[in-house]
Amino acid sequence: MKKLRFIFLIGVTVFLIHCDKKKDPVNDFETNLLCTTLAICNGETPAKTGIIGDSWTDLLLGFPFVETLRPQLENRYNYKFAGATLGGKTLQQVVSQGLQFQVIDQGGADMKVVLLSLGGNDIQANLNEYIGNINTVQAQRFATFKANLKQLIITGNAYKISRFGGPPIKWIIHGYDYPNPYMTPVIAGSDEGCKSKFDRIGLIVPDAGVFTSTQLDAFNNLLVDITREEPSLIYVDLRNTLGGKPASRAELMLDCIHANNLGYTLLADKLARLIYPVTNIGL
């Protein structure tokens, strides 16, 4: 238990370093936590690029040796993000908490682009709801995600123009790469996206790899569809970076849905190249 608490504290400390404030994270724990996770900071931290994301974007608490997309882009590609990132975050939470407004406030008038890494938790939460009704539940969740994403973009751009003037923000959203449901969870009882969880809750599918990869493809297709309706939204496809369908390579994965450090390095390299024409940062 002491070892687990120690690992958790290390993860939290390193995680807080990625906050956009310049104060010592150890001396101002609560303020930095709010800044990093909710974009509530003391004063504005001007930045051209904002970020709102889940555990693919920012540090996995308890795993300080894994640099996810945000620290990779900051440390290797010279990004200076204003934003809110924390594992477990859903788009539903972002919209209900108004995080798009807080990120815009934090970034200021110079903010041109906001990177979004959201959707996985909206689709994967409460897997038991899928039992016996997979297609209907997935369609309902996709519809809710689409409505929330459009609301975030429309209200975010209206707020930015009202407060600072200028053109609307360009919102970049990346799809995820394929999970690997056959991986062993790194934390006992934390097996999101794993076949072991499907079995535990009674979600019976003919093939876990086919199920998760098909759902992942459908989610990426949904993002493409939304870009046709929202000209401010830009979609980036990260599929096949870690090995391809139906499951990413085990040697590039930390668990069923997260890459390991090497995997995130490959993902960050691809993402940086694909978003460079929009952000003009990093290459």
Give pLDDT tens digits for 117-171. 999 999 998 999 999 999 999 999 999 999 999 999 999 999 999 999 999 999 9
Beta-bridge partner residues of 186: none
Cα-to-chain-centroid distance, residue 81 = 14
Asked if residues 277 and 270 have their Cβ atoms less than 8 Å apart, the reply is no
Residue with the bigger pLDDT between 282 and 30: it is 282
The pLDDT value recorded for residue 61 is 59
Residue with the bigger pLDDT between 195 and 20: it is 195
Residues 2-12 pLDDT 10s = 333 333 333 44
- pLDDT of 30 > 60? The answer is no
CA distance 271 to 76: 12
Tokens 């994403």 correspond to what residue?
Answer: 149
DSSP category for residue 231? T
Beta-bridge partner residues of 113: 49, 170
Q: For the chain, what are the domain ranges?
A: 28-37+45-279
Residues 6+ apart with CB under 8 A from 86: 36, 37, 54, 55, 58
* Sign, CA torsion 35/38/42/43: positive
Residues 46-66 pLDDT 10s = 679 999 999 899 866 566 678
Break the chain down into helix, strand, coil percent, rounded to 5: 50, 10, 40
What would the CATH number be for the domain defined by 28-37+45-279?
3.40.50.1110
- pLDDT of 28 > 50? The answer is no
The pLDDT value recorded for residue 63 is 66
Question: What pTM was estimated for this model as a whole?
Answer: 0.84
